[in-house]
Structure formats: C-alpha cells, structure tokens
Structure 1
C-alpha cells in the first residue's frame, strides 16, 4: 500500500472536528459519525482504526510519530511497519475527510497509485512486509483547535485496505 505513509501523515496532522458522547461511566469518548471507532493503532501515535481491522488488507504493526503529538512548525517523522495481505493494484482509492470541530474542511477521494511516488513506492504494491518512513513539515500557521481526520483506503473492488482516524488538538503558541 504505497500511500500508507500519506494516509498516516494525513491522519496524524489533519485538521478536522469530531463528535463526542458521554458513555455510561460519565467519560467522554470519540464517536465517528456513522461508525464506531475501533482499536488504537499500535505505536506512539494518536490514531485509531475506524472499526475492527481484522478484515483489512493492510495489517499495521506499528506507527510511531516524532513528535507525538504533532507540533505546528515542526517536522513530523512517521515510521510505520506492516504487512500487505494482497497486492494493491491500479484503481485503489482513499477517501479523506478533515474536520475542524463540526466543520468539514476537506472531503476528497485520491487515487493511491497516482500518489504513490510521494512515499517512494510504485504501483502495483506487492503483498508482503512494508517498512515506511516519511517526514512531513507541519505549517506553523495552523489555527489552534481540535482537528479530526479520517482516511479510508480501499481497492478498486471495494475491499478495505485500512481506515484510520485521529484527533489532534493544536494549542495557541
């Protein structure tokens, strides 16, 4: 999955808003509209799977962000390891949603193969072990607030590759 680092970078740094609800214990928890949030993505990161990832083509073993959480004006380094169960071919897509509070800032669909060069991969991406490293410069001018991003990747046949979501809060100064 050539765009795994792009997905991870997008999820790790995006600007988007989330919905929260109070659970039975009086704690506030994140709820993504229309689906429950799945387990945490292993590693040092603020990410969750959108749902149970057991049926996904990408098995994400770990994602580490430095710094974690991301900081405006800093370079974010993303180290990810995982396994692709099947080759990812032309036609794979990713739906990206970025929210600031309840306001949707970005909603777009990107072709994974067209963007694979950004992570030094070529399409098709062969099944097997993946080790990816990506550095992303985070703009210093990010307005303070809570951002939520969701990246849902799938094959041309609609088979889930992975779906990740994260909420990041940027403070003033």
Structure 2
C-alpha cells in the first residue's frame, strides 16, 4: 500500500529532519498543540492517531485527506529514533507531479526560524519515503519513516505550519501545530 497523506506528512517531516535536524524536526514533533492559538480552531481538525498535528486550511479544497498520523515515541526523545506512520487518501483526479512544492514555516515565539520552500518530488526521492516517486496517482497511501532525533535539540515551544501545493498551485494539504520540547 502507498500512503500519500503520510507521504505528504513524511515528506514534509523527513525532509525537514534532513535539512534542519536540530531545531526544526525535533521541534515539530514534540507534543503539545494549542488549537485556540491557531485561528480559534475554525479551520483546523485533529488528525487521528498519536501525534500533536492538526490539519489546517479546512475551508480550502485539499486533495489529500490525512486519516491518521502516529509518532513513536510521542513526544520524541532527544538522541533516539522517531517512527512516523501516516495514512491518507489522495483524491481523484489529483496527480502529484513534478513542480509540486512544500512551504514550511517554523517559529520560536515571535522569532521566525525557518521560512523555506522545498521541491516535493525532489524531497521524496532524497528521503526515500517507502520508495515513493512522482508522479503520485490518486489512491490510499500508508507510509512509515524512521528518523533520528539529534541530542542537541534546544528546548522551547515551536509553532509549525507546513503547506503542500501541486504544480498548478492547488493545495495538497496543510499541517500545523505548536510543539513544546522540554
């Protein structure tokens, strides 16, 4: 089985882990979310599973429905592995193809640590997420990825917002949350 929703999440997550192993990845996965801080929760929904992530931009048309995300352990532990499992459905007639991208923003309080755009297909290939490659066809995806959490992750509460877009700028999915790393 493939897992595009997880793919999107894992792609976002693992590419961030690879690019920003200390501050971004670890922060993103820690464990407390405050939906009230994010638009009073009007366009957010919790994602099933054991994770602090919320799906955002629910008032927008999205091609990826994320059914479940599990992080183990949750919260992640510095200096250890984190297993990420995700399940979801890429709705027809959407095909994720070359030119798709991910916008990532991470803040520590009011300080923006990361504001970066990544090529989604390139990140899939570079991070070997269950062998997924573009183009991705509509259907159910079930993906697992293991990443290393650096020991040096600094403590703090990080606000994370990740949006994935297709080559035609249509929204694939949006993930958000506040993560506290003790």
Query: Normalized against structure 1, the TM-score is what?
Result: 0.82
Shift of 1:63: 0.5
Rg larger for: 1
The answer on whether the counterparts of 2:26 and 2:153 sit within 8 Å (CA) in structure 1 is no
Give the structure with the larger strand fraction: 1
The answer on whether the counterparts of 1:64 and 1:78 sit within 8 Å (CA) in structure 2 is yes
Aligned to 1:19: none
The answer for unaligned runs of 5 or more in structure 2 is 18-23, 29-33
From the superposition, tell whether residues 151 and 28 of structure 1 become closer, same or farther in structure 2 (CA, over 3 Å). closer
Aligned to 1:108: 116
Give the structure with the larger helix fraction: 2
Query: Normalized against structure 2, the TM-score is what?
Result: 0.78
From the superposition, tell whether residues 107 and 54 of structure 1 become closer, same or farther in structure 2 (CA, over 3 Å). closer
The answer on whether the counterparts of 1:153 and 1:162 sit within 8 Å (CA) in structure 2 is yes
- Whole-Å Cα distance in 1 between the matches of residues 83 and 43 of structure 2? 25
User: Which of 31, 37, 48 is equivalent to 1:42?
Assistant: 48
Shift of 1:6: 2.3
- Whole-Å Cα distance in 2 between the matches of residues 158 and 167 of structure 1? 26
The answer on whether the counterparts of 1:15 and 1:100 sit within 8 Å (CA) in structure 2 is no
CA RMSD of aligned residues (A): 2.6
Aligned to 2:79: 73
- Whole-Å Cα distance in 2 between the matches of residues 59 and 65 of structure 1? 18
SS at 1:55's partner residue? coil
The answer for unaligned runs of 5 or more in structure 1 is 17-26
